[in-house]
Amino acid sequence: MTWQHKRPVLLGLFALLLAISFAINPIAGKTSYAKATTTTASHVQGKLIVVSLSRQWLYAYENGASVFNTAVMTGRDSLPTPTGTYSVFNKLHPTWFTSPWPQGSANWYPPTYINYALEWKAGGFFLHDASWHSTFGPGTNNWHHDPQFGWQAGSHGCIAMSYSAAQWLYNWAPIGTTVQING
């Protein structure tokens, strides 16, 4: 078979690989995620944080306009992130998180330093940075392989994100900012 005969087959395989990479790459869908969520916030005045659990993505709006979005990691199946509408009622910078589970429990974690934390539901539900993760976005709320830290599960119900995203959100969102968690 000559190159001219192989070319359509190779182009077809390339197109298939490209389509698959867009389907599984969390960054590839960023624009469509923003478009899908914009209508949710278009009627809201003031500041609004919207988290999509199905997309593992956070969107920030001011007076209905999108001002920021980022990949996040939410609760694992055994400790899911609650859905609903809440308000930021506590901001901590810096702080330490201490496990409410006893040492030896499958959910226990050692005292953990957090740079930026915004509490939105009583009982320790925060939007916060997570230095022990290097990946966020689709699939990270379940067992996944983090290229820097190895095999990991999702959060304990919090909404975790990169340091820079948590810093931006902390500086932008005052106490009282609405937090809407969608399935």
pTM of the model as a whole: 0.79
Dihedral sign (CA 56, 57, 58, 62): negative
77, 97, 116 from 126: Cα distances, Å: 17, 10, 10
- Domain count across the chain: 1
Residue 173 has a pLDDT of 98
Structural domain includes residue 141: yes
Overall average pLDDT of the 149-168 stretch: 98
- Which range of residues forms the domain containing residue 177? 30-182
- Asked whether 124 and 92 are in contact (CB, 8 A), the reply is no
Structural domain includes residue 45: yes
Q: In this model, does residue 104 exceed pLDDT 50?
A: yes
Structural domain includes residue 54: yes
Q: CATH number for the domain including 136?
A: 2.40.440.10
Structural domain includes residue 164: yes
Q: How far apart are CA 98 and CA 117, in angstroms?
A: 13
Q: In this model, does residue 20 exceed pLDDT 50?
A: no
Overall average pLDDT of the 159-176 stretch: 98
Q: In this model, does residue 89 exceed pLDDT 80?
A: yes
The gap from C-alpha 119 to its chain's centroid, in whole angstroms, comes to 15
Structural domain includes residue 68: yes
CA atoms within 13 A on the CB side of 108: 7
3, 124, 165, 170 from 152: Cα distances, Å: 45, 21, 20, 25
Residue 10 has a pLDDT of 41
Q: Which helix (H) or strand (E) holds 131?
A: none
Structural domain includes residue 102: yes
**Angle, CA of 111, 155 and 91, to the nearest 5°:** 65
Q: In this model, does residue 9 exceed pLDDT 60?
A: no
Structural domain includes residue 16: no
Overall average pLDDT of the 169-180 stretch: 98
Long-range contact pairs involving 34-39 (C-beta distance under 8 Å, separation at least 24): 34/59, 34/66, 34/69, 37/66, 38/66
Q: In this model, does residue 111 exceed pLDDT 50?
A: yes
Structural domain includes residue 5: no
